[in-house]
Structure 1
């Protein structure tokens, strides 16, 4: 057997092994209950309280409900007190769990000492962070650009890192006794590639992923799960309340699926459909995504969805009085 024949046999074997391993990993995502089983007491064994930021609506609200249904007391955090009070009332009535409300605006400066003071005496086991500033195309006007950058960085980067630090200190105290804890940071599927029109938002979510993965590597031996969750389509106000289908989930369904993967690694897309979408997105040549017709179509689509979301929010406010 000559060198070239040996080379191609080795190369072929390597390719088969590589894709075989990827197929095996994919099959694990198909059967989370088999590969990543969670005992009924999994979440309550983490601690008494779960802190959920951005929990007045959408995915954050769904996480708060889901964790309460699993036996945890909940701290809900957002900037609108009326919405938080309503969520707290609904969670309490539906689950019987205690709910603590903390009103704060994560786009602002110097808010963390007060948050830390209100959390310091709680036996916290889980932090779920959904921090979201709507995606914008960066404007050329200096004042508008600086305002947008500050809001996105404060909310999606600074607050996420600060809250992780505050909660980690709480977790560490109790981990001495129980050796468990969990932090779930919600990223976004569009962070998979450089994404035009969502440039600043997508970049901030890349920070969420890398920060979470780095922390998991550092503190895994302490018994703390730190995971980045990167969803694609979820029907929320900021997504224009798109109709749900096999790709676009309701917040409740997405949270139900994603909680099955909390022990699946330092990053997950939260569902098998969104995992496939992530793989497909990374295979599309960037020249296609960056073509002017594609970018213009994407921009028009985003504008339409934001307008629809604003109208629906206004309508629900009139009907419900608290949305």
Structure 2
């Protein structure tokens, strides 16, 4: 009986500490969500950054057609951008696997490795190299690098994609620290699923917003968060994922990826 009392006391404090920790995490998340999405604040991007920043809303537009799977496109882009004051750069080009797969079994593996690194990682560095000097010279500008929630934590069965998106995230964080004192915002955007044709999601849902809904939400984070999931529900999911022990996270990730893989391969055999 005497030995049971200290053990019960120990378990009590373990439970109380766990509850306190979870309560603190939840409180921090709600505070951050309120600050970012609930309270009104001045947008981090706008006409003051430059005339060349969008496709509509009565601003000037110039189209440069290139294939980002190629490495010899940047001289053409540089020449086309000559003389333009670029206020906002959105590095949104990207590609992933056709379906989750084990590394050695990825179809056309050598070509896939080259394409994903060239499109997802090289393009971000090269486009930033072209646009950043002008922003630094004018002491203003914003670079929004679209990473992925897959870049926050390793995602097995999407290994190359996850790794390249992690590169984008780290690159963005480093660049922001280097150039924020020079008036340039560099933001890493790490969304979960958005209802697009590329993601093969036809209809938006509460956790898979339309591109318009996601962009409207993400815009509120510019100048407030240098690293964001861009959407309240995505931010909540990221917080939950971060609280999981690594063994449980990887178990869930492998199960989810394998389930999608099996369904895809079964569908291909039926066709």
Structure 1 266/32 Cα, relative in aligned 2: closer, same or farther at 3 Å?
Answer: closer
Q: Give a deviation string over 1:105-136, Cα, whole Å, max 9, x none.
A: 11111111111111121111100111211225
1:252 aligned residue: 212
**Runs of at least 5 residues in structure 1 that lack an aligned partner in the other structure:** 1-8, 51-67, 69-73, 75-90, 308-323
Q: Does the alignment pair 1:159 with 2:127?
A: no
Residues 106 and 155 of structure 1 are in contact (CA less than 8 Å); yes or no, is this contact kept in structure 2? yes
Q: 1:38 aligns with which of 31, 35, 42?
A: 42
Aligned residues: 248
TM-score, with normalisation over the residues of structure 2? 0.80
Secondary structure of 2:194's counterpart equals: coil
**Runs of at least 5 residues in structure 2 that lack an aligned partner in the other structure:** 1-12
Q: Does the alignment pair 1:262 with 2:266?
A: no
2:71 aligned residue: 109
Residues 108 and 154 of structure 1 are in contact (CA less than 8 Å); yes or no, is this contact kept in structure 2? yes
Q: How far has the Cα of 1:211 moved from its partner?
A: 0.3
Q: How far has the Cα of 1:34 moved from its partner?
A: 5.7
> In 2, distance between residues paired with 1:290 and 1:190?
12
Residues 50 and 85 of structure 2 are in contact (CA less than 8 Å); yes or no, is this contact kept in structure 1? yes
1:170 aligned residue: 134
Comparing 274-283 and 216-225, the one that deviates more = 274-283
Structure 1 270/255 Cα, relative in aligned 2: closer, same or farther at 3 Å?
Answer: same
Structure 1 222/35 Cα, relative in aligned 2: closer, same or farther at 3 Å?
Answer: farther
> In 1, distance between residues paired with 2:52 and 2:76?
18
Structure 1 37/156 Cα, relative in aligned 2: closer, same or farther at 3 Å?
Answer: same
> In 2, distance between residues paired with 1:262 and 1:130?
15
Normalized per residue, the structure richer in strand is 1
TM-score, with normalisation over the residues of structure 1? 0.68
Q: Does the alignment pair 1:27 with 2:31?
A: yes
Q: How far has the Cα of 1:286 moved from its partner?
A: 4.2
Secondary structure of 2:62's counterpart equals: strand
Q: Which has the higher contact order (CA 8 A, sep 6+)?
A: 2
Q: How far has the Cα of 1:139 moved from its partner?
A: 5.2
Secondary structure of 2:90's counterpart equals: strand
Q: 1:220 aligns with which of 180, 187, 192?
A: 180
Q: How far has the Cα of 1:32 moved from its partner?
A: 2.7
Aligned CA RMSD, in angstroms, stands at: 3.0
Q: How far has the Cα of 1:280 moved from its partner?
A: 1.7
Q: 2:240 aligns with which of 280, 291, 299?
A: 280
Structure 1 183/24 Cα, relative in aligned 2: closer, same or farther at 3 Å?
Answer: same
> In 1, distance between residues paired with 2:104 and 2:141?
44
Q: Give a deviation string over 1:3-22, Cα, whole Å, max 9, x none.
A: xxxxxx9xx99x96996487
Q: How far has the Cα of 1:243 moved from its partner?
A: 2.2
Q: Does the alignment pair 1:187 with 2:147?
A: yes
Q: How far has the Cα of 1:147 moved from its partner?
A: 0.3
Residues 124 and 170 of structure 1 are in contact (CA less than 8 Å); yes or no, is this contact kept in structure 2? yes
Q: How far has the Cα of 1:170 moved from its partner?
A: 2.1
> In 1, distance between residues paired with 2:256 and 2:190?
23
